[in-house]
Chains A and B, each alone.
Chain A
């Protein structure tokens, strides 16, 4: 077995350049900050440009459903760029998680996802852990007539969605239903990260369409792919924090010299560089492992365990090393900090991923 290729292909480089160009033009950080003050106009505009104009909504949708039939590697490139720009779009929730959940269903929703005609969110709390028991994955119940009742809190991507994909439990089976979003109660939550704003969902005996009767494997796979690719977003966040901090410290002068020349700061940035390089490596490795179907669970756990904390550290360093200006609303560092901190909790904390890893690589905990 030879090593997985961890370097970008030409296609991936082109994809990155295209996404970056669009984000540079259409995702100004001032507009991102405005989202916190209630001006969400950027969200729809940007998502349309990415999903429809660039066709990214259908990246993971198979070609027979009108999608691009790309792999997790390409989706990871997109997320890395979205992270670099803290872009407030539902790519992860719709084009990755919901799309992956639907992949085995052959459902018509796939075709609508592919064109960007329809955005979908799976109703699980953003903080859901990959090993969560079925009843936590699905707190909604379906009656015999396919009517859904229940409440799911802290769902990401629901505010941007046209259709909700709802996991339900009955006895010991997990099923997946589709509900038009207008029929559900969707209550926006004031979120730590308003660039991925959450919502609480209430379903009150709503008629829904059964999408997958036996959906546990599909839902778990969707969460795993989501977690694996979130690592690329985190690597993007961390990489951007490092770059902007290095650039600032090359300019800022105190004591008659550029402060980036002080060894105490150089050494912190050197450590951060080493961390960001490792974050990139494990994020790419997780995306490549899933694409090649080789040992994806370990690679995902490693990537999340590493990148979750590293991205937070990078954003915290960015705030600290910018001094007073790093504390201001004006400066974008806070956008990255909030995204990084929310991402750390998304799909389970680094600690949860380490606990999962312990089982996967046979490093058992203390015996009970």
Chain B
């Protein structure tokens, strides 16, 4: 399909669904059914199977028409991680059940991966899932779960076979967060807010039909999620979007605060941000509709460094104003916006960018081992049954 044909489809859709008079959810559901949600997804699942590069133009046309959006910052985990994983590993029934309400934002998703004893070493998770007829019974504790307080569903990695070495005994599930066995407790962050939570799972029942991928294949499925996470965190399509846009605007608005030293740092970071944006664009062109591989780790690594340096620079640029903070009140936010609120918040929130979605140290390991083929770190735990490992 050419870009003009796609533009025609959007125009036809808008002609029959006036964004001003159509109910918001009805509009979003219809947009999904028309294949104009995520256009690279297959027909019947909100897309048209066209190259990802065309998405920007479709989004632009909808924004231009004043159409309601699906509030993506409230469902980053759903859109960026759960959806591509369900698309890749889900049964037809799972795709039909989950993708549409995910895209429209009717069902928000969270990610139940990390645990107190398993962060970087995700394959070490201890949360147990035990088969019981046509369901699984899950017990354990998760931590750092962003948005669990808003979520209807979760992607979950749990141990189904403790006799296997750690990577082989895992299974991936789609977990209903309204199950009575789920308890979500806020964890306050350095910003003052509680964006993330601890989640306790006590005898949570998950039907086997909500298992994603085969039993024992959880590590493989989880890696698809992680690779998607690394290309979705910090993804920017337009020049000067994201943190660099914010800081560039501050620079333009505050001529009296400029110094030659800050100018030099700003320009270096502007170049770095632009290089990262173009590299992301090139990577997405390369991936076309395939699944991202370990190369995306380089993107996420650059994104985190640049966001942290820029947000630090902005506080220095603001000088006295940089000493003030908007609000330390503990709240549980509805959405995550790295560049939202004030400069102090941005500075503090950016510190998480090199931890969430794989720390920068882990990403360097991944690039070195899986992209460059350098020897793996010595592993003492690789071939030992998980239950025998020292915890």
Contact = CB atoms under 8 A, between A and B. Distances in A.
Interface of A: 2-3, 5-7, 246, 249-250, 257-258, 260-261, 263, 265-267, 269-271, 273-274, 277-282, 284-285, 302, 305-306, 351, 354-355, 357-358, 361-367
A278 B54 contact: no
Nearest to B276: A278
Is chain A's binding surface mostly helix, strand, loop or mixed?
A: helix
Contacts of A261: 374-377
A366 B260 contact: yes
B285 A271 contact: no
A33 B204 CA distance: 69
A257 B364 CA distance: 20
B252 interface: yes
A282 B274 contact: yes
A362 B374 contact: no
Contact of B275 (A246, A265, A281): A281
Contacts of A263: 365, 377
A7 B285 CA distance: 7
A238 to B, nearest CB: 13
B271 A302 contact: yes
30 contacts: A5-B285, A6-B282, A7-B285, A7-B286, A246-B372, A250-B373, A250-B374, A257-B375, A261-B376, A263-B365, A265-B374, A269-B368, A270-B364, A270-B368, A270-B371, A271-B301, A273-B367, A273-B368, A274-B301, A274-B367, A277-B279, A278-B302, A284-B282, A305-B268, A306-B272, A358-B263, A361-B240, A364-B252, A366-B259, A366-B263
Given A3-B53, A365-B263, 18 more contacts: A2-B54, A7-B286, A250-B373, A261-B374, A266-B374, A267-B364, A270-B301, A270-B363, A271-B301, A274-B302, A278-B275, A284-B282, A302-B271, A354-B264, A357-B271, A364-B258, A367-B255, A367-B258
A355 B268 CA distance: 10
A362 B270 CA distance: 12
B275 A306 contact: yes
A282 B268 CA distance: 14
Contact of A3 (B252, B285, B373, B376): B285
Contact of B285 (A6, A265, A266, A277): A6
Given A2-B53, A282-B278, A246 B367 contact: no
A154 to B, nearest CB: 26
B61 interface: no
B258 A366 contact: yes
B298 A274 contact: yes
Contact of B263 (A266, A273, A363): A363
Nearest to A6: B282
Most chain A Cβ neighbours within 10 Å, of B3, B278, B281, B371? B278
B62 interface: no
Contacts of B268: 305, 354
Given A263-B377, A361-B270, A281 B282 contact: yes
Given A3-B285, A277-B298, A282-B274, A270 B367 contact: yes
Most chain A Cβ neighbours within 10 Å, of B3, B274, B302, B369? B274
Interface string B241-284: 00000001001100100111001101110111011101101100
Given A366-B259, A367-B258, A273 B275 contact: no
Most chain B Cβ neighbours within 10 Å, of A250, A278, A354, A355? A278
A366 B260 CA distance: 6
Contacts of B365: 263, 266-267, 270
A246 B366 CA distance: 15
B286 A271 contact: no
A281 B278 contact: yes
Given A2-B53, A257-B375, A266 B369 contact: yes
B383 interface: no
Interface string B1-22: 0010000000000000000000
B361 to A, nearest CB: 7
A51 to B, nearest CB: 30
A357 B282 contact: no
Contacts of A354: 264, 267-268, 271
